[in-house]
Chain A
Amino acid sequence: DQQVKQNSPSLSVQEGRISILNCDYTNSMFDYFLWYKKYPAEGPTFLISISSIKDKNEDGRFTVFLNKSAKHLSLHIVPSQPGDSAVYFCAASSSGTYKYIFGTGTRLKVLA
């Protein structure tokens, strides 16, 4: 049973436009969420995180939004750049645990 779901396996966006990647979770005990970015032949790298006490966290071009009532989070990339083309994973965990549950990933392609 997938506790963290990324229902869009792929997404294509024009350079300069906004990319929106979505993630849903089922476990109400999750209170910390992260996004990782993965290039081919490399390991995932941390991008941005958000705690459940917030509903938004921003870092440069990247913003993560959390809707706890809907158990939904999204990653916005504005403006999108060709170098953002990668697979994006969302992950969730509960306070004090080391265990992250990852989604299946969304492949983003930014077209020049």
Chain B
Amino acid sequence: DAGVIQSPRHEVTEMGQEVTLRCKPISGHNSLFWYRQTMMRGLELLIYFNNNVPIDDSGMPEDRFSAKMPNASFSTLKIQPSEPRDSAVYFCASTGGAGYEQYFGPGTRLTVT
């Protein structure tokens, strides 16, 4: 299995621009998670989906952030408009069920200038 796939691996954009991060979970996994890693807060859960339905988006920092999961094999995290404080590494993870380990993708390093 290819594991969790994220694209792009690196994104550099200017403040105010729209940014879209993409994730393909492991085939057969029914839950998908978006995390943000920063030095100050470590790994923060932004949102997670179960069977393509958003279950908990309480970690989404602002309305500028939105996430979708149109089908079991694809999810996007969009930031519009982006700000310098959004600069971080964003991870996608998937799992086959509650209580199971989560498998992480390699992350997208976002830099907003």
Contact = CB atoms under 8 A, between A and B. Distances in A.
Give the contact-size bracket for chain A. Answer: 20 to 34
Given A41-B106, A46-B101, A98 B50 contact: yes
A89 B44 CA distance: 12
Interface string B44-73: 110010100001100000000000000000
Given A43-B4, A44-B91, A104-B41, A98 B106 contact: no
A52 interface: no
Rank and list the top 10 A-B pairs by shortest CB-CB distance, nearest first: A43-B104, A104-B42, A102-B43, A46-B101, A44-B104, A98-B98, A98-B31, A43-B106, A43-B105, A105-B42
Give the contact-size bracket for chain B. Answer: 20 to 34
Nearest to B56: A99
Contact of B42 (A42, A45, A93, A102): A102
Interface in A81-112: 89, 91, 93, 95-105
Contacts of A46: 101-103
Contacts of A102: 35, 42-45
Interface of B: 4, 31, 33, 35, 39-45, 48, 50, 55-56, 91, 93, 95, 98-99, 101-107
